[in-house]
Amino acid sequence: MNYSAIRNLAICVWSVLAFVLTTVAANSEPGNVEQGEAVYIKRCLQCHGDEGDGLGPAAEFLNPPPRDFTLGLFKFKTTAFDEDLPNDEDLLRMIRDGMPGTAMPGWSDMLSEQDMIDVVAYIKTFAELEGEPESQLDYGTQVKTSDESIAAGKILFEEGDRCTECHGVEGKGNAIKKLKNDNGERTWPRNLTKPWTFRAGNDPKKIFARVSTGIPTTQMPSFSDPKSSKKLSIEERWHVANYVASLAKVENVVNPENFVIQADRLESGLPTSPDDKAWKDAPSSTFIMVPQIVGKQRFFLTANDTISARALYDDKKIAIYLEWDDRTKSIPGDAKAASIADENLSEDAVAIQFPLTIPEGMEKPYFLMGDSTNPVSLWRWSSGTSEQPETGTIIDAKGIGDQQPRDDSGDLSIASSYLNGTWRVVMTRLLTTETPENDLQFEEGRFVPVAFFAWDGSNSEAGTAHAMTTWYWLQLKPAADSKPLIYAIIAALLVGAMLFWWARGAQSRNKVNA
């Protein structure tokens, strides 16, 4: 191809490109307020309200509540911290992707880009937001993540209680004090180890923006505000952002494909304390918990969202280890707990639900505490009060309205520990009991349905107000299982080795023969 042919081709490509670009530009006109209103009425009104004041019919069930657009204040923006106006792109991003951990859904599957641009133009009219933002967030030069940067970020995070004041030493958002938003509603600092709950993304650039602008209308402050005694330079904010990104949990993360807790068999000596090192080697399964909204006294605003379970057994007993992040250690009667809690402080609690018999097929009792023909039993641990130690109780249940705690919980034993926003509880019971008509009898190899319930006593959770999982499975893995596998591997290795020596031998035999 000669020079002019290349030039003609380039002109040709350029004209096509220019055509495409102009059509795209023509398609994404600035938002059309009228069309935006139509989108709003159809999709946004039920939460944000017809006046844009956040008081739609669904709002009373939601925490955090839907944004009141009449205030013109947005939480997640990339304009400078003292600039009230967000960029249109900031609002578009929240509408497109939604806000994890809140009821605000992402709309990219349902609305076209132009619909979203139109609705942005419309929601800005509620507070008569006009004109362009004047000052943008200064990102400076990004400091790439590294061990050094993360270490520097950790120091800044803790120095003078800068972030730990609200987010706790390990960043789990365990409450040290009561926080409220500008509306007087209770808010919680984010659990920074659960990046999937970040409203506006958890890559260092997004975290940098949060640390720089703060989260308007909440107590999360701006650390670029020159008036702040705890302010950070651009470089320091990058270190903090890299540190926060490094806190993301890698263990105890929900894997939607995992339905089975595998209990390993130990020869003897089950760990009874949650601190025992033996738990480290037991496989962990993490499940989502949702609010109990089926039975009477529905409760929408539960605080605990996931629970992790491990199990071990020996020839006599089974021990189940539960771990969940709970921002508050709820001990009624304790002054510190009371200062953080909502009005009705009760004990933290957790329960493991089993059917009374191992089902033959996939049939399981009703997931919410069984029913009259398929009762369940619950092993329940409660954190205790300032006067009474923790307790373990077995509850026989035939539905949420029919729960009978036993006076005698047999050999059920419990142990717990609370540290930096995490409860860890171990419950142990005999595999088989003397009252098989009342208790599940565990059997090696069989799959047993299991479900979990949790109460955060500082969040007014008691009785039927709690978080819960659906049914999962627990399997007591037969110890014999692993032996044939090991023998199979050894046999394969032996065969491989023999073939190798035989081949070497054959080679040298051939050499001798040659």
Residue ranges that bind ligand HEC, judged by CB under 6 A = 43-44, 46-48, 58, 62, 64, 66-67, 74-76, 91, 94-95, 99, 102-104, 107, 119, 123, 157, 162-163, 165-167, 179, 187, 189-190, 192, 198-200, 207, 210-211, 215, 218-221, 223, 240, 244
Task: State the burial class of residue 496 (Cβ atoms within 10 Å of its Cβ: 0-12, 13-18, 19+).
Answer: exposed
- β-pairing, 472-476 with 260-265? parallel
Q: Which is nearer to ligand HEC, 209 or 331 (CB)?
A: 209
Cβ at position 74, least distance to ligand HEC in Å: 4
Q: How far is CA 61 from CA 57, 67, 306, in A?
A: 9, 14, 20
Q: Which is nearer to ligand HEC, 122 or 442 (CB)?
A: 122
Sequence-distant (6+) residues with CB within 8 A of 194 are 248, 249, 305, 306, 325
CB of 72 closer than 8 Å to CB of 84: yes
Structure tokens at 317: 């007993």
Q: How far is CA 151 from CA 157, 260, 355, 511, in A?
A: 10, 37, 49, 62
Q: Which is nearer to ligand HEC, 178 or 406 (CB)?
A: 178
Q: Which is nearer to ligand HEC, 74 or 287 (CB)?
A: 74
Cβ at position 77, least distance to ligand HEC in Å: 7
CB of 179 closer than 8 Å to CB of 186: yes
For the chain, the first-to-last Cα distance in angstroms comes to 61
Q: Which is nearer to ligand HEC, 135 or 386 (CB)?
A: 135
State the Cα–Cα distance between residues 447 and 359, nearest whole angstrom: 9
Cβ at position 204, least distance to ligand HEC in Å: 10
State the Cα–Cα distance between residues 91 and 89, nearest whole angstrom: 5
State the Cα–Cα distance between residues 461 and 383, nearest whole angstrom: 13
Cβ at position 68, least distance to ligand HEC in Å: 9
Cβ at position 336, least distance to ligand HEC in Å: 18
Q: Which is nearer to ligand HEC, 328 or 377 (CB)?
A: 328
Q: Which is nearer to ligand HEC, 57 or 445 (CB)?
A: 57
Cβ at position 40, least distance to ligand HEC in Å: 6
State the Cα–Cα distance between residues 30 and 36, nearest whole angstrom: 11
Structure tokens at 495: 């065969």
Cβ at position 211, least distance to ligand HEC in Å: 5
Structure letter (DSSP) for residue 459: G
Cβ at position 238, least distance to ligand HEC in Å: 11
Cβ at position 422, least distance to ligand HEC in Å: 19
Q: Which is nearer to ligand HEC, 59 or 266 (CB)?
A: 59
Cβ at position 213, least distance to ligand HEC in Å: 10
Name the packing angle between helices 33-43 and 113-123 (round to 10°).
Answer: 100
Cβ at position 164, least distance to ligand HEC in Å: 8
CA 41, distance to chain mean position in Å, is 32
Reference 239, options 347, 151, 140; nearest CA is: 151
Q: Which is nearer to ligand HEC, 47 or 376 (CB)?
A: 47
State the Cα–Cα distance between residues 247 and 187, nearest whole angstrom: 21
Q: Which is nearer to ligand HEC, 153 or 355 (CB)?
A: 153
- The Cα diameter of the chain in Å comes to 98
Residue 297 has a CB neighbour count (10 Å cut-off) of 12
In sequence order, what E strands does 367-513 have? 376-382, 391-397, 403-405, 413-419, 422-430, 447-455, 467-468, 472-476
Q: Which is nearer to ligand HEC, 204 or 457 (CB)?
A: 204
